[in-house]
Amino acid sequence: MSPPSTSLAYRPELSGLRAVAVGVVVLHHWLQPPFPLGEMGRCLFFVLSGYLVSGIAWKYDAYVGAPGPWLRRLGTFYARRVLRIIPPYYLALAGCALLPLATVREHPWWFLLPGANLLIYKSQGWGDGVGHYWTLAVDEQFYLLWPLVLGVVGRRRWALLVLAASGPAFRVGWAAWHGPGMVHLLLPASLDLFALGAMLRLCQGQMWLRRLARGRYVAGSWVLCAGLRTWLDTGGPWAEAWALGYVSLGALAAFTTVNWLLNRPHFVAQRVLNHPVAQWVGQRSYGVYLYHLPLLVFWQRLVYHFVPAAAERTLLMGPLPVLLALLPALAVLSAASWHFVEAPLDRFKNRFQYTAPSLVLKPVQ
């Protein structure tokens, strides 16, 4: 879940969408509602990553086998990604170690290297306050491997569709071989999300996408996800099927949402997503994501340390006290991360410039 890139034309609606995505993730982890809002946020983030990173790689020929000095451009791509993502993440990890959070202290290399998802999958447990870092590990693995993948699939729409289909195929095959537990934590299980994001970038502006850009399709796709979740996720074999299939439904819903915002969003959505508050949160969404769960653990430890009565503890861990106590703290932490770390690094990474970029995408095959 990385911050928006400045290498492509800036779209404020997408920054506002990041605010929505990180907001539903925070609400899911803090309030634990019956519906998995966090999965909605993850689907949006991964589709956006596929869209933005593929756009950068294609625009600047920063993928394996591209025309011209692709190795130099690939080095620039990795340098810019590392500078933008890794230092704020390591700073958050240092805070987690000082808190202290046992999982980070006991397994530091899994977090220092992009392997938190593998550790969580291996242990089949989320850890204390760092379970959400699995998505960052998947994103980093995606950044590392995607230029190689684009060198193989090229700018062929059918190849991206095959790649998207390999996501659910991997989940079903892996579940049959090893069991369905936490299969979605593995990078191949999210290929449908990343590949559909790449498809949006590759085919941007084409008429068939514009015909799909309807608010009713966006609403209908998310309602379908919610309805099927309510109906199927009730235990038994249907629940197992849902656990393997909901990512693809979420991928299609996120694809439809981003496509709508790129083409012709309703003026109400534009006003909401372009609101200064949404833009402020979207710009700082990386810090919000990094700190929101460790902050909840910190609050819980404060409550259990200073409040002896069980009833008062339950009250203070309720939805309203949690929001009132943690929202201002999260705003301060994410603002500090942006002001002192992310924004300076964002300016510094602009010293690494791509050479001889391609001006247009090649035709879709």
Instruction: Look up the domain containing 244 and give its range.
Output: 12-349
Long-range contacts formed by 230-237: CB under 8 A, 24+ apart: 230/35
At 320 the pLDDT is: 95
Q: How confident is the model at residue 346 (pLDDT cuts 50, 70, 90)?
A: very high
Work out the angle at residue 46's Cα, subtended by the Cα atoms of residues 41 and 51, and round it to the nearest 5 degrees: 125
Q: How confident is the model at residue 362 (pLDDT cuts 50, 70, 90)?
A: low
- The reported pTM is 0.93
Distance CA 209, CA 287 (A): 32
- Indicate whether 168 belongs to any domain: yes
Q: pLDDT, tens digit, for every residue of 132-164?
A: 999 999 999 999 999 999 999 999 999 999 999
- On the 0-12 / 13-18 / 19+ scale of CB atoms within 10 A, 146 is buried
Residue 343 lies in a domain: yes
| d(C-alpha 42, C-alpha 39), whole Å | 5
Amino acid in the structure at residue 125: G
The pLDDT of residue 107 is: 96
The answer to whether position 126 is within a domain reads yes
Question: Which pLDDT tens digit goes with each residue over 283-320?
Answer: 999 999 999 999 999 999 999 999 999 999 999 999 99
Q: Is residue 82 part of a domain?
A: yes
Residue 3 resides in a domain: no
Residue 321 has pLDDT above 70, yes or no: yes
Looking at residues 190-216, what average pLDDT do you find?
A: 95
State the residue for tokens 């235990």.
235
Q: What is the pLDDT of residues 224-281, one digit of tens each?
A: 988 887 777 666 666 677 777 888 999 999 999 999 999 988 887 889 999 999 999 9
Question: Is residue 363 scored above 50 in pLDDT?
Answer: no
Q: What is the pLDDT of residue 5?
A: 39
Q: Take residue 304 and report the two structure tokens written for it.
A: 């259990």
Structural domain count of the chain: 1
Residue 74: how many CB atoms within 10 A of its CB? 21
Residue 185 confidence (pLDDT) above 60 = yes
Asked, for residue 52, whether it belongs to a domain, the answer is yes
pLDDT tens digits, one per residue of 45-102 = 999 999 999 999 999 999 999 999 999 999 999 999 999 999 999 999 999 999 999 9
Backbone angles phi, psi at 40, to 5 degrees: -60, -45
Question: Is 365 part of any domain?
Answer: no
In a domain, 256, yes or no: yes
Question: CA distances (Å), 351 to each of 138, 184, 344, 346, 348, in order?
Answer: 27, 37, 12, 10, 6
* Cis check: omega of the bond before 363, within 30 degrees of 0: no
